[in-house]
Amino acid sequence: MLGTGPGVAKHRTALERYIRKEKPLVLALNTQSEIDAALIDLRVACHPVRLLADCEAHTKLPQPLITPYSMLPEDVQQALANKEVLDFGLNVQTDTFEFNETYCITPTSLVMAYAFAIATSGKAKRLLLAGFDGYEGEDPRNFEMNKVVKTYTNNGNTIPLIAILPSRYDVNIQSVYGVVK
């Protein structure tokens, strides 16, 4: 799973080598485009305001977009009319992750939580995270993101989260350089 942190660009060569060798399913959050587009399988976006802002970019990106399409405002649906969209529902409920075949429940509308739920609902064996660097210093967004991570990992039905690039979040870390020869 590709987040939008600067680590993706910094470690692009190793990430691309790993993807070419191991051929994992690659989900990119929002419009992350720091690696070869041919290596990205699907895109994930869920926040209506962010989607509206990124609509033009999404229509130009070749990958199908997973989003809670039927729940989006009509103007966002119209902006995505010519895009291949996979509709996966999203409900937000405090401190909750639930995984279903056609929808999920997450504790927040952050795309990271939505993507974790999509991968888990899709029966992935593990989630390798790249570009989940975190924020500098004492940025309160680190607390918010870590709360999502902890809520996810404390749910009994989840899969392992492993950062393959440096991350400030409370996840296991295994260097991409250790898995790529």
pLDDT tens digit string along 24-69? 999 999 998 899 999 999 999 998 889 989 989 999 999 999 999 9
Within a domain: 136 = yes
Question: What was the pLDDT predicted at 20?
Answer: 96
CB 45 within 8 A of CB 110: no
Q: Which domain holds residue 120?
A: 7-179
Mean pLDDT within 75-89: 94
Question: What was the pLDDT predicted at 12?
Answer: 97
Within a domain: 149 = yes
Give the amino acid at 17: R
Q: In what order do the strands lie in the sheet with 89-92?
A: 89-92, 103-106, 98-99
d(CA 16, CA 35): 7
CB 164 within 8 A of CB 176: yes
Question: What was the pLDDT predicted at 138?
Answer: 87
Q: Three-class SS of residue 151? A: helix
Say yes or no to pLDDT of 150 above 90: yes
Residue 21's Cα: distance from chain center in Å? 21
Whole-angstrom Cα Rg for the chain: 16
Model confidence band, residue 132 (pLDDT cutoffs 50, 70, 90): very high
Lowest mean pLDDT among 51-55, 116-120, 160-164, 175-179: 175-179
Both tokens of residue 64? 């199908």
Q: Where are the beta strands (DSSP E) in the chain?
A: 27-29, 42-44, 65-67, 85-87, 89-92, 98-99, 103-106, 127-129, 161-163, 172-173
Q: Tell me the CB-side half-sphere exposure of residue 78, using CA atoms within 13 A.
A: 3
Mean pLDDT within 70-93: 94
Within a domain: 2 = no
Within a domain: 1 = no
Say yes or no to pLDDT of 127 above 90: yes
Mean pLDDT within 164-178: 93
Model confidence band, residue 181 (pLDDT cutoffs 50, 70, 90): very low
Q: Where are the beta strands (DSSP E) in 2-137?
A: 27-29, 42-44, 65-67, 85-87, 89-92, 98-99, 103-106, 127-129
Say yes or no to pLDDT of 180 above 70: no
Within a domain: 57 = yes
What's the chain's average pLDDT? 94
Burial 110-125 (b: 16+ CB within 10 A, else e): bbbbbbbbbbbbeebe
Q: What is the domain count for the chain?
A: 1
